[in-house]
Amino acid sequence: MAISSALPRLCRANLSRVPGDIPRPAYDLDTVTIGVVHLGPGAFHRAHQCAYIDRLLARDPRWGICAVSLKSPAVRDALLPQDGLYILVEMDAEPRPRVIGAIREVLTAADSPAQVLERLASPQTRLVTLTVTEKGYALGADGRLNLTHPDIRHDLTRPKVPASAVGWLTEGLRRRRASGGGDLSVLSCDNISDNGRRLGAAVITLATAQGDADLAAWIAQMAAFPNTMVDAITPATDEALRILVRARLGLEDAWPVQREPYSQWVIEDGLKPGAPDLASAGAILTADVRPFEQAKLRLLNAAHSTLAYLGLLRGLETVAEAMAAPDLAAFVEDLMRQDIAPSLTPPPQLDLFAYIDAILTRFRNPAIRHRLIQIAADGSQKLPVRLLGTIEDALAAGRPIARLCVPIAAWMAFVLRQVRRGEPLADPVAERLAEAVRDLPGDAGTIVDRFLGIDGLFPASLARAPRFRATLTDATAVVIADR
């Protein structure tokens, strides 16, 4: 990241220049030792997990982070001159910056492979976390390790110089076993269902495929891969954020990050003994992550999609703008409280209606410009997990589905609009959708019949359900009349 101002750089030597009303690390940086290795220290990690660790370090200095970028040196080059320090701004009506000091070492694996493997093998390292995006796991369509993936093929023949995140973990665990480094907890913090189980299975599969069955057995016994769920809206760093940071601090930060005030980190209660006490820093430990994951998908994500398609059809741009329309805000609230909540069985730690209140507050945050067109992308993949399952549950229970069908109708109307205008449609099956709806007459019944007839788009049992078809047709007629 380029430095464009003549201001002094944020670093340990300049911490005393930080204005007194801006929180700084509540611990002595000299006492912090590294106990966590993180793979993929992008903006989300630095805005989310680092904030939890930063709080933990005020009570326990053993959990400093070694941040490892697998290939790009960008994070290392930005943070090394700043002694790992950076600014996190919680964006609200009044932005709240704070200095984060949790990252105590920054490495690029491609440049420093020996140091990375040493950290993974070290007995002081008791936790590894990852945010490498879904594609970084090299999984196939079945959720298992794709042994034909180019990076995995590399790791099969050159395991000591890994290319993939799974390869780095496998080789690190191999060296940990050889050096007596002890057990290890590994947390995937990417939005993949059953993320811990899938990561653990991928590591064991790679070890086995490399011809080391003993290592695979050791990993199964000594490494824990609990499932997790993370949540926090984290807009990309932009020039507006840099200007804000310069104005508030009087210092230059090469790579500040921002997020909404709300954050959630839910972890399956299966960490190995000796792992950091993340619950004391605000994480939720639970026997089963899936109810939290389902609540997020069916409440937050479904409401997001609803606002996206209805808002875009009105010419709106952001979630906050959509929530400023009283009828849209009321519709989404009724959808969540009356139609979606009854389909959920929350765990004791989750108050559904307080969670809905928090979602509505988050959506109204004017400081977060969450663009509707971004949320609208990949609708054919998102709607089945966000809304269709809820509709199926409601049909089975005899509950109303009229409101639940409106966002489906709005998505269909949005697809039609994009195709007819010749505007981009960001969707993995965009060509199939365009082919199916091109020259489609405008009556609701024909639109519904055509969409329900697209192979693989809707579950067959749902597409054949008379009540769903009739209710979706009614909703479509209303949506296309209102455009």
pLDDT digits (tens, 9 = 90+) for 298-336: 999 999 999 999 999 999 999 999 999 999 999 999 999
Cross-sheet strand order for the sheet of 264-268: 228-231, 264-268, 284-286
Supply the pLDDT for residue 4. Answer: 58
Q: Are strands 264-268 and 228-231 parallel, antiparallel or unpaired?
A: antiparallel
For 335-352, give one letter per residue: b (16+ CB within 10 A) or e.
Answer: bbbebbbebbeeeeebeb
290-482 has the same fold as 12-286: no
Q: Report the candidate in 392, 278, 252, 271 with the shortest Cα–Cα distance to residue 49.
A: 278
In the block, tokens 């609701």 appear at 444
Q: What is the 3-state secondary structure (H, E, C) of 242-300?
A: HHHHHHHHCCECCCCEEECCCCEEEEECCCCCCCCCHHHHCCEEECCCHHHHHHHHHHH
Distance between CA atoms of 60 and 64, rounded to whole angstroms?
9
Say if CB 85 and CB 100 are below 8 A apart: yes
Supply the pLDDT for residue 2. Answer: 53
Name the CATH superfamily, with its identifier, for domain 12-286.
NAD(P)-binding Rossmann-like Domain (3.40.50.720)
Containing H/E element for 304?
helix 302-313
Q: How far apart are the first and last CA of the chain?
A: 43
Q: Model confidence at 438, in pLDDT bands (50, 70, 90)?
A: confident
Please state which architecture CATH assigns to domain 290-482: Orthogonal Bundle (1.10)
Say if CB 472 and CB 448 are below 8 A apart: yes
pTM of the model: 0.90
Distance between CA atoms of 370 and 319, rounded to whole angstroms?
6
Distance between CA atoms of 182 and 177, rounded to whole angstroms?
7
User: Does pLDDT of 434 surpass 70?
Assistant: yes
User: Does pLDDT of 475 surpass 90?
Assistant: yes
Report residue 188 as tokens.
């995937």
DSSP 30: G
Distance between CA atoms of 317 and 57, rounded to whole angstroms?
40
**Span 31-45, average pLDDT:** 98
Residue-wise pLDDT tens digits, 85-102: 999 999 999 999 999 999
DSSP 92: S
Residue-wise pLDDT tens digits, 344-365: 999 999 999 999 999 999 999 9
**Phi, psi dihedrals of residue 385, rounded to the nearest 5°:** -85, -25
The domain locations on the chain are 12-286, 290-482
